[in-house]
Amino acid sequence: MYYAYFMNKPCIICVAITGSVARKEDNPAVPTTIQEQIESVHESFEAGATIAHCHVRNQDQTPTSDPERFALLQQGIKKHCPGMIIQLSTGGRSGAGRERGGMLSLRPDMASLSVGSNNFPTRVYENSPDLVDWLAEEMLKYDVKPEIEAFDLSHIVQATKMADDGRLKKPLYVQFVMGVKNAMPADKPIFDFYIETLKRLSADSEWCGAGVGPHQQAVNEWSIAAGGHTRTGLEDNIRLDKDTLAPSNAALVKRAVDLCEKYSRPVASWQQAREILNLQ
Ligand SMILES: [Zn+2]
């Protein structure tokens, strides 16, 4: 969809509620049980988020890709937040191979997809060409829209190549992830070049910006000001500022909503978000 004047274009807010790293010891507001996750998504939905980016945890808070847990979470969100877009993560367990896509047969609206490897703070985030192609095939098979996680410029180029040769369905939805230690920093000229490159290689694509840790708010603001969509939540950042822990996912969503107001961007309703992303 093409908007001539993006200041009137609705902004989709994604809330990444849990992730695979932050624990209750880091911030007690991180939802780790299915019940806590459903409640946190519900509050975030009421605050303005329309995509729930979800990971699941074991009882001891360690990350898992257990399809049964994902199914319970999906059911709960559908029941309590009708219309909200459910996005399941295939990225949380680097090294686990095809287990990472075991939940795609649940046919969530969306799933995250990394199309290349890079370094993370303490390890390699490994996405081999074989695994990437297999995950992309499963997403085509189950009609799951991928959100491409771009941790590097090469990931943007690779995603457009995969869309051109039919391995991914167009139009693309690409998320620029910035500020992960040892990967791409939150750098405004690079961010601008990401947008320019994506639009040059894949004109009908939509994009979203996510900043990690102390960069969350800045990348939210850059994205909203530039006509994109944005992601927030405790997965990426557990603080409101350097001295204050975020009290909830909804509090971080509220911060993104306030930024939309500042730039006269309406916050997308779930119906608008589904239209922008070509979802039923
Ligand atoms: Zn995630």
- SS3 readout for 83-137: CCEEEECCCCCCCCHHHHHCCHHHCCCEEEECCCCEECCCCEECCCHHHHHHHHH
Cα–ligand 1 centroid distance for 36 (angstroms): 17
Cα–Cα distances (Å) from 275 to 55, 95, 231, in that order, read 25, 35, 18
**Residue 61 tokens, joined:** 């808070």
Cα–ligand 1 centroid distance for 4 (angstroms): 31
Cα–ligand 1 centroid distance for 234 (angstroms): 10
Q: How many CA atoms lie within 13 A of 87 on its CB side?
A: 31
Cα–ligand 1 centroid distance for 262 (angstroms): 27
Cα–Cα distances (Å) from 87 to 74, 98, 101, 135, 249, in that order, read 9, 18, 13, 14, 16
Cα–ligand 1 centroid distance for 241 (angstroms): 21
Cα–ligand 1 centroid distance for 91 (angstroms): 6
pLDDT in tens, the chain (280 residues): 444 456 789 999 999 999 999 999 999 999 999 999 999 999 999 999 999 999 999 999 999 999 999 999 999 999 999 999 999 999 977 668 999 999 999 999 999 999 999 999 999 999 999 999 999 999 999 999 999 999 999 999 999 999 999 999 999 999 999 999 999 999 999 999 999 999 999 999 999 999 999 999 999 999 999 999 999 999 999 999 999 999 999 999 999 999 999 999 999 999 999 999 999 8
The DSSP output letter for 169 is: P
Cα–ligand 1 centroid distance for 127 (angstroms): 15
